[in-house]
Structure 1
Amino acid sequence: MSILHVEDLNVYYGSIHAVKGISFDVEEGEIVTLIGANGAGKSTTLNTVAGLLKPREGKVEFEGESLLGIPPHKIVSRGMALCPEGRRVFLQMSVRDNLEMGAFTRTNSAEVADSLEMVFERFPRLKEREGQSAGTLSGGEQQMLAMGRALMSKPRLLMLDEPSMGLAPILVQEIFNIIKALHDAGTTVLLVEQNARMALSIADRAYVLETGKVSMSGNAADLANDERVKQAYLGG
């Protein structure tokens, strides 16, 4: 059974039909990526799955149960976390406080402490800057903090929205290495990414979105070798 099942999703911003009947599945243990140009509906899709936007029609099911109408914080408690586009860390708060905010749905303080240790192991740079305010971190460090914060809810499905945006190439590689390591450690990942080449290099399967519709889907390696994908997203 799919951990995430999305069927015939239609989302509007006012009169703009942003997502037009998208359907896709994420199986447990996979990295699935949604790629496409700006404005294709990728982030809208993730935000709808996370409960931040309401679809006009369609299904969103997580582990066989509908998420429609469930408030976002309850969706987090069920085992899904979104690392949003643009990082959205709390700039005035310390690194540690940002991370602890990610665990706000959890009640067992010993388990939260374990998760904090795990995040510091994964992101040693955050450990070094534990007491600094998030606003003093570099872009790459803020991205690591946003990912660490999402992991603090102990998600079974981690959704990442444009994790490489605005980062230097060396940091992009580092962020993707971390995504791969998280996946290897057992986290299922749904990745929205402008950098199609990097996304396809680590994903199991991919869906190509164009103007709010799925135009192609399949094995990520096959899509990376497809002439149409190369022309449109991989610089020919």
Structure 2
Amino acid sequence: MLTVNGINVYYGAIHAIKDVSFHVDEGEIVTLIGANGAGKTTILHTISGLLRAKTGEIKFQNQSINKIEPHEILKMGIAHVPEGRRIFAQMTVLENLQMGAYTRNNKEETNNMIEMVFEKFPRLKERINQLAGTMSGGEQQMLAIGRALMSKPKLLLMDEPSMGLAPILVQEIFNIIQEINAAGTTILLVEQNANMALSIANRAYVLETGKVVLEGNAKELLGNENVRKAYLG
């Protein structure tokens, strides 16, 4: 579904992503793990079109998306749940979800998607008219995921969904990620909680200072002694 082939990304003179290649097959959960500053978020931003690779190629369903604008990439079927949630704090829960469907013109379809999100996240339905910025961190994360689902993505990019959440909510969010995947959405997950990420993923890539240093079956990497020492404590 997604092929990233030898991309190099720069911030000015800083070489942030160095010849990174990986792929995501349809139906998979693939995770990118690594320490802060390893380049995980930069890779997601480059896939979304928010950053541009200087060299290399990104293909989605065999079509190059290197030079496509972010809103067009969204229309193609790639949605992004950003680090830090980035919900519209001064809008209500309902308005945030409607914003997630801005590429769709069918009002009935949008309403059906809202109901689907509310089935998955009953707490959001309870807070339908509440300003998003007044909700708890866990509820805001659910809203960020729900907003992304409103575009009916084929591929969901998720950046640090467990960040800042209490352990009991982390488990809930990861259960939801598995449910979304089981319902047919392919997921590329960036997560500092390597233990949780590897426990639900099919495959994983380990990043260090902008390079892929290890890849393989997620369960095997979970048992890898070097990975355990470096990322699992």
TM-score range, shorter chain: over 0.9
- Which residue of 175, 178, 181 corresponds with 1:183? 181
| SS state at 1:5 partner | strand
Deviation at 1:112, TM superposition (A): 1.0
Partner of 1:133: 131
* Residue matched to 1:196: 194
TM-score by length of 1: 0.98
Aligned residues: 233
Q: Distance in 2 between matches of 1:110 and 1:58?
A: 40
Counterpart for residue 118 of structure 1: 116
- Residue 49 of structure 2 is matched in structure 1 by 51
Structure 1: stretches of 5+ with no match in the other structure: none
In the TM superposition, 1:76-87 aligns within 5 A as 76-87=74-85
SS of the residue aligned with 2:177? helix
Rounded to whole Å, the distance in 2 between the matches of 1:106 and 1:10 is: 33
1:224 — aligned with what?
A: 222
- For residue 118 of structure 2, what is the amino acid of its counterpart? F
Paired with 1:99 and 1:160, the residues of 2 have a C-alpha distance of 17
Kindly indicate whether residue 97 of structure 2 is the aligned counterpart of residue 99 of structure 1: yes
State the alpha-carbon separation in 1 of the partners of residues 61 and 111 from structure 2: 27
Equivalent in 26, 35, 38 of residue 37 of structure 1: 35
C-alpha separation in 2, matches of 1:197 and 1:124: 27
Q: 2:33 is aligned with what amino acid? A: I
| TM-superposed deviation, 1:111 | 1.1
Measured in 1, the distance between the counterparts of 2:184 and 2:104 equals 20
Match of 1:26 in 2: 24
For 2:48 and 2:75, the matched residues in 1 are separated by: 12
Q: CA deviation at 1:107?
A: 1.2
Distance 1:149 1:49 in 2: 19
Distance 2:215 2:114 in 1: 36
Cα distance in 2, alignment partners of residues 109 and 64 from structure 1: 31
SS at match of 1:10: strand
Q: Secondary structure at the residue paired with 1:104?
A: coil
Aligned to 2:8: 10
Distance 1:61 1:105 in 2: 21
Q: Give the Cα separation in 2 of the matches to 1:100 and 1:65.
A: 28
Tell me which stretches of 4 or more aligned residues in structure 1 moved more than 2 Å.
none
Alpha-carbon distance in 2 for matches of 1:58, 1:37: 24
The aligned residue for residue 67 of structure 2 is: 69
Q: Structure 2 stretches of 5 or more lacking a match? A: none
Deviation at 1:42, TM superposition (A): 0.2
- Counterparts of 2:55 and 2:94, CA distance in 1: 39
Q: CA deviation at 1:45?
A: 0.2
1:86 shift after superposition: 0.3
Deviation, structure 1 residue 110: 1.2
CA offset digits 1:146-165 (Å, max 9, x no partner): 00000000000000000000
Identity of counterpart residues, as a percentage? 66
CA drift of 1:108 comes to 1.3
Q: RMSD value over aligned CA atoms?
A: 0.5
Q: CA deviation at 1:179?
A: 0.2
User: What is the CA distance between 1:233 and its match in structure 2?
Assistant: 0.3
